[in-house]
Amino acid sequence: MKTFPETCILWLSGILLFSGNSIINAFAYDYTATTECLGEPQRAQYGGGIIVNPDFNHSLEAGWSTAIGRGNIEERILEAGNRFIVVHNRTNQLDSLFQKVQLEEGNLYSFSDFSSLKFEIFSAWVQLSEGRETVAVFFKITDGDLVRGGSVIADHGCWSLLKGGIVANFSSPVEILFRCENTKVDIWVDSVSLQQFTKTQWRSHQDNTIDKIRKSKVRFQVTDANNTAMRGAIVSIKQEQSDFPFGCGMNHYILTSTDYQNWFASRFKVTTFTNEMKWYSTEKRQGHENYTVSDAMVKFAKRNGISIRGHNIFWDDPKYQPEWVNSISPEDLRKAAQKRLKSVVSRYRGQLIAWDVVNENLHFSFFEDKLGDQNASAEYFSEAYQLDPTPIMFMNEYNTIEYCRDEKSSVANYLKKLQEILQYPGNEGISAGIGLQGRFGSGQPNLAYMRSSLDILGSTGLPIWLTEVDVGKDPDQAQHLEEILREGYSHPAVQGIVMFAGPELAGFKNMPLADINFNNTPAGDVVDKLLGEWESEILEIKADDRGFVDALLSHGDYSVTVQHPEANSSTTLSFRMTKDIPQTTIDVQIHA
């Protein structure tokens, strides 16, 4: 039996088109997606890619085969003339139409052969004859192994876009088929597509997108008092603060180590305390609250201009409750939880930029089960927001971007839970956020699945943060980390990234960024490289014959000094570059 590690879905609504390794038509990548269904299916993406007869405009014998099992397929035509396929008389979940395609191997683990990884991108429009069910796409390998490629919640009466794909580290014929667990419903299918992209093309798109969404153009026009162009003037540009929060977890060791303090404050302007604000840290004994450590860490952060994400008010995992919580009655738990919420949120009111309100409430349901209240998460969001409406209130979950096989935290389930919370009476106005932990295991991270999740979650318009980025131990750990961080930074819906990493001295053993002597590890080198890349370097540019200086700058706050070799004075100014200003011109006058 072959194994296909991290073979997952990819949800895309636009892509760069390539011929070999050359771009032949660069459409602006559209990250937006929709969870709405449409009255008519759209045409197949990429013209169907390698799919034969993608829109069913030819005989079914052109590319498609009859259903598995006892199901039957037939061609139908919509009123507008569009042809589609119906799978009916289904007795097996996998009764479906299918098409066989040839996938070519890409070396999933080789970083020396950067272009070898292949992303097979799939899309199709689906509908059901009745009701509302999940429809999934599967890739059947020649040895019979079934690889889940993606899913969508489909409805009767409208068409839903199922997006997915497979990362190929093998060469094999593959059958593409659909599954619906409810065999009583017919599956309608139209506009099927499968298209391949290489890792080199993927990285090229990342870089182009970063330039587009994280940077803006600025032109300085340098003149003298007579408005004459100052040819040869030197414009020195220095970024004082980046607009993109890229930070690191922090723990209590920072209170006793000057080296840790200097290491952290010289790099990061946003943090999350790894444990010190959690309930089991602040109330180890019932009724005896102790915020000494977290208070001191807040004081350090504020003194150094470091913003804080609150982590967390509650954790739904039964293993991570204060020990005494497990021995009290449901009614006493309700009272204790109310006291906890009011205590921690009120204590740090106005001092935090975010709260992880209920941690990991897709994988676990401690409070819901103990209290017999399936609205517990929604109620905690409401109460926290009423106590302090300033921070963004996050759901925080793992495996939504890391691992496609974990259905508990799939994109669909994340959105379903978030919708339940936001639709709870009184929660309509909450400033909500999407927290994605980003705790990747060892081995090649599947950037396809990561982007898929970000695309769909980004369609909500809510801010997305990668909240606990970590990568498993691996000889290529640093390279994996760089790929993950670049993928997050290049997505327009991502508004911040926090790693759960740090110096080895502070106990960060899995992915230390600095050794015991605060020398960089390979992962630390990656972080420093990206900090330098994403925070514009100091630039010194000479004005052209017309007194113009052009630059592409990362968003943030800048200071500028302008001087001319023949002038006895210089001019300084400050300005701010934001995503809302794609380009601007700044007039600068030098008095000789």
**Residue positions annotated with a catalytic role:** 360, 468
3-state SS string for 297-349: HHHHHHHCCCEEEEEEEEECCHHHCCHHHHHCCHHHHHHHHHHHHHHHHHHCC
C-alpha 412/C-alpha 398 separation (Å) is 14
The token pair at 175 is 């059958």
Contact 138, 177 (CB under 8 A): yes
Q: Which residue has the tokens 């070898």?
A: 116
Q: Which residue has the tokens 């949120």?
A: 345
Amino acid at 15: I
Strands 187-198 vs 83-88: parallel, antiparallel or unpaired: antiparallel
SS3 track for 158-178: CEEEEEEEEEECCCEEEEEEE
Q: Determine the Cα–Cα distance for residues 76 and 84; give it in Å rounded to an integer.
A: 6
| Residues linked to residue 165 through DSSP beta bridges, in sequence order | 121
Which residues have C-beta within 8 Å of that of residue 505, sequence separation ≥ 6?
Answer: 253, 257, 259, 260, 514, 516, 518
Nearest to 209 by CA among 557, 584, 579, 583: 579
Residue pair 122/163 in contact by the 8 Å Cβ criterion: yes
The residues with which 491 forms a beta bridge, in sequence order, are: none
Instruction: Please report which helix (H) or strand (E) contains residue 479, including its range.
Output: helix 477-489
Residue type at 8 in one-letter notation: C
Q: How many Å apart are CA 515 and CA 525, to the nearest integer?
A: 12
Residues 271, 248 contacting (CB under 8 angstroms): yes
Token digits of residue 136: 């999934």
Helices 522-534, 477-489: inter-axial angle, 10-degree rounding: 20
Peptide bond into 446 cis (omega under 30): no
What's the rounded Cα separation, in Å, for the pair 234 and 230? 9
Among 340, 78, 332, which Cα is nearest to 189's?
78
Which among 230, 345, 220 is positioned nearest to 294, based on CA atoms?
Answer: 345
Which residues are bridge partners to 101 per DSSP? 174
Roughly how many angstroms between the first and final C-alpha of the chain, as a whole number?
79
Sign of CA dihedral 320, 324, 326, 330: negative
Residues linked to residue 88 through DSSP beta bridges, in sequence order: 72
Chain-centre distance for alpha carbon 498: 12
Distance CA 172, CA 45 (A): 23
Q: Are 109 and 88 in contact (CB under 8 A)?
A: no
